[in-house]
Structure 1
Amino acid sequence: MTYLLGIAAALIALASVVELMRRRRLRERHAVWWILASLMALVAALFPVSVSWVAGVLGVGLPSNLVFFVSIVLLFLVNLQHSAELTDLEDKTRTLAEEVALQKVRLERLERNDDRSPNTPDTP
């Protein structure tokens, strides 16, 4: 029963990521880590002996500790990716704000110059 629950959870996670991508609520570059995690969970659910084998190869005492460690690493990588993208967006926002401020100054100067220019009478 536990194996079926693991398989169902992995399939639901994978289907959720695909559906979010289909609805354009999740971009491909963000979905990579979630798809990887879902596929790893599916493999672990289908072949639970593989988790024990990998834990033994890596020298991890309990397979569940390996699962938690891999989960933490994946969440760390997602967080790192989001932090890098946030930094890029902050830089772009600052640049755009500076460009808007410069455009505003230019517009004010043009308006002031237009107000100061002498009105030429319309003479035929």
Structure 2
Amino acid sequence: MNTVTYVFGIIAALIALAVVIESLRRHHLRERHAVWWLLAGLAALVVSVFPDTLGWAAALVGVTVPTNLVFFLSIAVLVLVSIQHSGELTELEAETRTLAETVALQDLRIKELEKAVADALQPRRNP
């Protein structure tokens, strides 16, 4: 590995970590969403600082080409993030449905009360 590639890998990993940390700091990203991205950024930093660890990890799990291990792990992280977001989306849909039903019931009650008040304020006619 030449020096330019080595330095580029370290800088890219540090930028990725900095973006995640800054997003956390500015509250653009919540902690539970940032876990996978922090783990991926730290793994990228370790591999960029110690490039032999990728070859060691690939040999450990039986992957012939270390780059394939990187692709597999990247896809695995993206799948886990997708599953996490799907679960949260399901929860939000249920909460939205409950809120919409509550608002509809309150709207009906308000209309009924307004009608009752309007009927009570109208002068009564004697037959």
- Report the TM-score range of the alignment, normalised by the length of the smaller protein: over 0.9
Structure 2 unaligned regions, length at least 5 = none
Matched, 1:30 2:28: no
The count of corresponding residues between Structure 1 and Structure 2 is: 121
Letter in 1 for 2:71: F
The answer for the alignment partner of 1:92 in structure 2 is 95
Cα distance between partner residues in 2 of 1:52 and 1:118: 84
**2:49 maps to 1:70:** no
Tell me the distance in 1 between the aligned counterparts of 2:122 and 2:70.
79
For residues 6 and 118 of structure 1, do their structure 2 counterparts lie closer, same or farther at Cα, with a shift above 3 Å needed?
Answer: closer
Moved over 2 A (4+): none
Letter in 1 for 2:23: L
Q: TM-score by structure 1 length?
A: 0.92
Query: AA paired with 1:81?
Result: Q
- 1:1-124 to structure 2, matched below 5 A, reads 1-117=4-120
Paired amino acid for 1:56: A
CA distance in structure 1 between the partners assigned to 2:67 and 2:121 by the alignment:
83
Residue 118 of structure 1: how far off its partner (Å): 5.4
Distance 1:119 1:55 in 2: 84
Take 1:14 and 1:38, find their aligned partners in 2: how far apart are those partners?
Answer: 5
Distance 1:57 1:75 in 2: 23
CA distance in 2 between counterparts of 1:103 and 1:118 reads: 22
Q: Output the aligned Cα RMSD.
A: 1.5
Q: Match of 2:117, as an amino acid?
A: D
Q: In 2, distance between residues paired with 1:44 and 1:16?
A: 19
TM-score (norm 2): 0.90
CA deviation string 1:30-69 (max 9, x = no partner): 1111100000000111111111111111111100000000
